[in-house]
Chains A and B, each alone.
Chain A
Amino acid sequence: MALEAGKQAPDFTLNSTPDQKVSLSELKGRRVILAFYPADWSPVCSDQLPIYSELLPEFRRYGADIMGISVDGVWCHAAFAKDRKLRFPLLADFEPKGEVARAYDVYRKKDGFSERALFVIDREGIIHWSYVSPIGINPGADGILEALESMEGKKS
């Protein structure tokens, strides 16, 4: 379950807005936090992502960018991000549905959406830390901050 630390993070290209795409490979040289979550508008996500939004200055201090990923489409993401005033990209793992979640081994086939899973990826594109939270529980940010802290002083 869930790709583990030490594995190469699978590359992907997904829409972040109706006319913009983001590829993981473009972010080489930056640290990347991927936050897979089941769905826009679900009650648990409603606190998880705003907390990350408040922590952007801390993530930046560690040279890290954060991106949310769910199977929702770009227009749904746009409405959700606007409503919650999120200040980081939400990527649409929409077509083929859940392909990126599958690549990271966090897709719940029976449900048709992803686990609530976090990945911290180093500058070389290697997974440094991953975590799958019980689906109804918001994982917060402490694990991400600890993972970033443990990378400090390392080139990667």
Chain B
Amino acid sequence: MSLKPPVGPQDHVLGNPDAPIELVEYGDFECPFCGQAYYSVKAVQAALGDDLHFVFRNFPLAQAHPHALQAAQAAEAAGLQGRFWEMHDVLFEHQDMLDEPDLFRFAGALGLDLERFARDFASPEVAAKIRADFLSGARSGVNGTPTFFVNGERYDGSWAPQDFVAALSSLARDVAVRP
């Protein structure tokens, strides 16, 4: 199972762009497992530092999670003002507060231009971006949330913090040894 399309300019990328390890998550802001994985990803980021960059793509299971789509819209709308990652963090840290007024309150707290946020939040472009992420996930073999890809290949191992850090650190060492 490999990532289609590869990470590109359409993606939100956090960390050293030249890092040897590229971690991509397909996630849903209302999914409780993604809420747990959020902390695993933080642990991996802390452990790997400049050896890792992290990419988040939307995979909202909107029928199962009624707030998932609007939360994704909030993250993408914040992204258009350069604040995707701040919103991503706030959403995962407040998974029980994803009603529309909450999302606008978060946007206000992040200091976003709220008129623009409201426009982008409801825009067809943001909806299309989320759908494109979802479809790329479906084509890449995403079979639940969260699904991770490491250097373009689906990662089926454990993402419990210790296991995840161990697996990715070991991979980073292997990559570093190669010429």
* Binary per-residue interface labels of chain A (44-71) against chain B in the complex, 1 for a CB within 8 Å, 0 otherwise: 0001101101110010000000000000
Q: Which of B1-60 contact A (CB under 8 A)?
A: 1, 60
Q: How far is the CA of A54 from the CA of B87 in the complex (A)?
A: 24
Residue of A85, A86, A137, A141 touching B138 (CB-CB under 8 A):
A141
Interface SS majority for chain A = helix
Asked whether B139 lies within 8 Å of A145 as measured between CB atoms, the reply is yes
Instruction: Confirm or deny: B64 has a beta carbon within 8 angstroms of a beta carbon on chain A.
Output: yes
Shortest Cβ distance from A48 into B: residue: B143
Given contacts A85-B64, A86-B63, is CB(A58)–CB(B135) below 8 Å? yes
Q: How far is the CA of A138 from the CA of B61 in the complex (A)?
A: 15
Instruction: Confirm or deny: A10 has a beta carbon within 8 angstroms of a beta carbon on chain B.
Output: no
Q: How far is the CA of A51 from the CA of B145 in the complex (A)?
A: 10
Asked whether A54 lies within 8 Å of B143 as measured between CB atoms, the reply is no
Query: Contacts of A28 on B, CB cut-off 8 Å?
Result: none
Query: Contacts of B159 on A, CB cut-off 8 Å?
Result: none
Asked whether B145 lies within 8 Å of A47 as measured between CB atoms, the reply is yes
* Binary per-residue interface labels of chain B (129-160) against chain A in the complex, 1 for a CB within 8 Å, 0 otherwise: 00000110011111111000000000000000
A65 to chain B, nearest CB (A): 17
Instruction: Confirm or deny: A84 has a beta carbon within 8 angstroms of a beta carbon on chain B.
Output: yes
Given contacts A51-B143, A58-B135, A140-B138, is CB(A85)–CB(B63) below 8 Å? yes
Instruction: Confirm or deny: B110 has a beta carbon within 8 angstroms of a beta carbon on chain A.
Output: no
Asked whether A140 lies within 8 Å of B63 as measured between CB atoms, the reply is no
Asked whether A53 lies within 8 Å of B143 as measured between CB atoms, the reply is no
Q: How far is the CA of A146 from the CA of B141 in the complex (A)?
A: 11
Given contacts A85-B64, A87-B63, is CB(A142)–CB(B135) below 8 Å? no
Asked whether A140 lies within 8 Å of B64 as measured between CB atoms, the reply is no
Asked whether A50 lies within 8 Å of B138 as measured between CB atoms, the reply is no
Asked whether A47 lies within 8 Å of B144 as measured between CB atoms, the reply is yes
Q: How far is the CA of A108 from the CA of B81 in the complex (A)?
A: 54
* Binary per-residue interface labels of chain A (126-150) against chain B in the complex, 1 for a CB within 8 Å, 0 otherwise: 0000000000011111100110000
Q: How far is the CA of A54 from the CA of B65 in the complex (A)?
A: 11
Asked whether A142 lies within 8 Å of B63 as measured between CB atoms, the reply is no
Asked whether A142 lies within 8 Å of B61 as measured between CB atoms, the reply is no
7 contacts between A and B (CB under 8 A): A47-B61, A47-B144, A54-B62, A54-B138, A84-B63, A86-B63, A140-B138
B interface residues, Cβ below 8 angstroms from A: 1, 60-64, 134-135, 138-145
A interface residues, Cβ below 8 angstroms from B: 47-48, 50-51, 53-55, 58, 84-87, 137-142, 145-146
